[in-house]
Amino acid sequence: MDAGVRAYIDGIDTENRPLFDRIHGLVLSTFPDAEISLSYGMPTYRMGARRLHVGTWKHGVSMYGWGQDAAAGFLERHPQLKTSKGTIRLRPAEAERVSDDDLRELIRTAMAG
């Protein structure tokens, strides 16, 4: 992991760090060969041409990187998490109701197409 990504992660506030760590761990356990760098000012996981951006904000964690239709199953189960085309906004309390399997599905959609 490069120094920019490490600095970003080290700077995540304590309220959002457990959720970020959960998503980070799920990405790396699902795609252990993923490359991680900063893109658009946030950690970006890459597998070939596919990318998943994971950023922390005041509300929690947002994930970007798939077409709206690609995440249809996830969004049917969790419609309250969609904020715009290709964006999922997770607040820590809401994320507790999302299973790791659902998050892995979303990660696979972004990283494997």
CB 72 within 8 A of CB 81: no
- pLDDT, one tens digit per residue, over 6-43 is 999 999 999 999 999 999 999 999 999 999 999 989 99
How far apart are the C-alpha atoms of 75 and 53, rounded to whole Å?
18
| Structural domain count, the chain | 1
- At 2 the pLDDT is 86
Domain that holds residue 73: 3-112
Strands, sheet with 50-56, edge to edge from the N-terminal-most edge strand: 35-39, 42-47, 50-56, 61-64, 87-90, 82-84
- pLDDT, one tens digit per residue, over 71-98 is 767 777 877 776 666 678 888 998 999 9
How far apart are the C-alpha atoms of 85 and 25, rounded to whole Å?
25
Question: Residue 85 belongs to a domain with what CATH number?
Answer: 3.90.1150.200
**Range 62-79 average pLDDT:** 75
Angle made by CA atoms 105, 110, 113, in degrees to the nearest 5: 95
